[in-house]
Amino acid sequence: MNAFWVSTLSQITVLAFDLGASSGRAMIGRVNLDRKTVTVEELYRFPNGPVRVGRSLYWDVLRIWSEVKEGIRRACAKYGDELVSIGVDTWGVDFALLDNNGELLGNPHSYRDPRNQEAMEELLRKIPRERIYERTGIQFTPINTLYQLYAMVLVNSSQLRAAKTFLMIPDLFNYWLSGAIASEFTEATTTQFLDPRTRKWCFDLLEEIGVPTGIFPEVIEPTTKLGRIRKELAEELGVSPRIEVVAPATRDTASAIAAAPIDEESAYISCGTWSLVGVELSEPLISRQAMEYNFTNEGGAFNTITFLRNIQGMWFIQEIRRILAMRGEEYSYEQLTKMAAEARGFLAFIDPDNPRFLAPINMIDEIMKFLEETGQEKPKSVGELVRLVLESLALKYRLVIEQVQKLTGRRIRRINIFGGGSKNWLHNQLVADFNNVPVVAGPDEATSMGNVLLQVAGLGYIKSLRELREFVKNSVKLRVFEPNHTSRHEDAYNRFLDILEKTGGL
């Protein structure tokens, strides 16, 4: 379908790949320019997850690539020449290294790899936190790319010495799709070595820790057209060589926030494997207090900053479900939610950000150990366990949102929860109850919608973030959860703060 015909029909069809840490999806987006509406449809889903070899965790990116190709085949088989473009978003912080021939030097490590904690501690003995934060505005967590690279420096990695090109994970897939070598801004900010004000790599920091700086590509903006799909790839898949590859906000959170119905009185929670809690800003907020609260200034679409804290989110429920299945107890997410809704509340709490929960062998055992060490009652059923986790998440969100208000001077009057976690009604209600503000839930497909609409913006049909959000507003019915706040919620919050103080979480 040529561009003139697309414009005449006022409908554009694009393919969005939303590659998450637990699953990947190929989503078809249909955008009606006259009605200003967008629909997304899941075309293909496949599992994803890190692969453990010895003590290390890796991503099997070649298998993911084979699934991406299968998604393209299915999309073109169903929509043919209607398909105009492809865009990829993924999780943050992880990367791949290429050699002189543009070939992969090895399987990328997962951000949950245990090597990162030691590297972070060692690096922060070398360079003060204040200097790193002033340059990058990114929160300190061992998952960051900065510490992953330094872990390679510490062992004199042959891969790092041989590397010609550094690509973040979505940039790798864009390279395999189009041949273009570039680093998209929103993903690049998750590295903790990009200045969000100048949008340039912090080469001085990298040189100081021994990372070669000649491997880093040009930083490009979200909505950049990267070129058409590679000719040899089009031939292999039997698809049109005219399909454009467009970089949306390749950081999945940034694509999701672009599609979120938020304003200056809203905090957001982008809820999936991780919960990302914060507000949208027009420029970075880099201060000593922001550093002490450990807030991050990641890049957003249309020259915005996603000012937020990363909190481990539905990872807990995913891992609890996995461990139960290993024990022969199979539950759906809906069943776990129902059991939690019927279980005792206010029983005990965990700190979702305690490092012990980052990559435990057995999440249930680790939660029980935390409760034992903090002198709290242990859950007696699966429902009590799941409710304990969901209440702990709601309490951690409250702490973060209170900190946001102190840092920005804003009054938060509502919380918008979007992403897959927004489908969990109990989670949404607990967030409303513990924070004592209404929760607006949806869109649950915020990431895919943002990806789709940012591709359409890259094709020239959407000119602003406000206009993009009009498409979402016209297309999605949001759900509102009113708070049922009592003195018990206040007592629970004070107990939670005491636990954080005892365990070093404050």
Pairing relationship of beta strands 305-312 and 414-418 according to DSSP bridges: unpaired
Predicted pLDDT of residue 9: 57
Tell the residue number behind the tokens 């297309």, with chain if given: 475
Q: Which of 48, 61, 47, 129 is nearest to 95 (CA)?
A: 61
Residue 231, SS3? helix
Angle between helices 333-341 and 425-435 (to 10 degrees): 40
- Quickly tell me which residue has 């946001």 as its tokens: 404
Gap between the Cα atoms of 196 and 295, Å rounded: 14
Dihedral, 458, 462, 463, 469 alpha carbons, nearest 10: -120
Query: 3-state secondary structure string, 68-116?
Result: HHHHHHHHHHHHHHHEEEEEEEECCCCEEEECCCCCECCCCECCCCCHH
- The helix/strand/coil state of 21 is coil
pLDDT on residue 500: 97
In tens digits, the chain (506 residues) has pLDDT values of 444 444 445 899 999 999 998 899 999 999 999 999 999 999 999 999 999 999 999 999 999 999 999 999 999 999 999 999 999 999 999 999 999 999 999 999 999 898 999 999 999 999 999 999 999 999 999 999 999 999 999 999 999 999 999 999 999 999 999 999 999 999 999 999 999 999 999 999 999 999 999 999 999 999 999 999 999 999 999 999 999 999 999 999 999 999 999 999 999 999 988 899 999 999 999 999 999 999 999 999 999 999 999 999 999 999 999 999 999 999 999 999 999 999 999 999 999 999 899 889 999 999 999 999 999 999 999 999 999 999 999 999 999 999 999 999 999 999 999 998 999 999 999 999 999 999 999 999 999 999 999 999 999 999 999 999 999 999 999 999 999 999 999 999 999 999 999 999 88
Pick from 93, 150, 156, 145: nearest CA to 118: 150
- d(CA 294, CA 396) in angstroms, rounded, equals 13
Element (H, E) at 144: none
Q: What's the chain's Rg over C-alpha atoms?
A: 22
Instruction: Identify which of 378, 397, 198 has the alpha carbon closest to the alpha carbon of residue 278.
Output: 397
- H or E element: which one contains 224? none
**How does 418-432 read in b/e, with b if 16+ C-beta sit within 10 Å?**
bbbbbbbebbbbbbb
Tokens 């809820």 correspond to what residue? 271
Predicted TM-score (pTM) of the model is 0.90
Q: In what order do the strands lie in the sheet with 37-47?
A: 37-47, 23-32, 11-19, 83-90, 244-246, 225-228
* Predicted local confidence at residue 2, as pLDDT: 46
* Helix (H) or strand (E) segment spanning residue 382: helix 382-408
Q: Which residues pair with 268 in a beta bridge?
A: 278, 416
CA torsion through residues 117, 118, 124, 127, sign? negative
Report whether 456 contacts 31 (CB < 8 A).
Answer: yes
Tokens of 395: 């309490």
Greatest alpha-carbon pair distance for the chain in Å reads 68
d(CA 115, CA 106): 16
Question: Would you give the end-to-end CA distance of the chain in angstroms?
Answer: 56
pLDDT number for residue 183: 98
Contact between residue 48 and residue 156 where contact means Cβ atoms under 8 Å apart: no
306 CB neighbour count, 10 Å cutoff: 26
Query: Are 400 and 277 contacting, i.e. CB atoms less than 8 angstroms apart?
Result: yes
- Count CB-CB contacts under 10 A for residue 400: 23
Return the H-helix or E-strand segment holding 156: none
Query: How many Cα atoms occupy the beta-carbon half-sphere of 146 within 13 Å?
Result: 33
Please state, in angstroms and as integers, the Cα–Cα distance from residue 237 to each residue in 72, 370, 458, following that order: 8, 50, 24
CA angle at 404 for the pair 260 and 463, rounded to the nearest 5°: 30
What one-character-per-residue DSSP string does 268-287 give?
EEEESSEEEEEEEESS----
252 is catalytic: yes
Which structural domains are found in the chain, ordered by start? 3-246 (3.30.420.40), 261-442+476-506 (3.30.420.40)
Q: According to the model, what pLDDT value does residue 485 have? A: 97
Q: Say how many C-beta atoms besides its own lie within 10 A of residue 406's C-beta.
A: 11
Pairing of the two strands 37-47 and 51-53:
unpaired
Kindly tell me the number of DSSP H helices and DSSP E strands found in the chain: 20, 21
Amino acid found at 112: R
Alpha-carbon span 252 to 274, nearest angstrom: 11
Query: Which residue in 18, 89, 171, 252 is the catalytic one?
Result: 252
Q: The tokens of 126 are what?
A: 């070398």
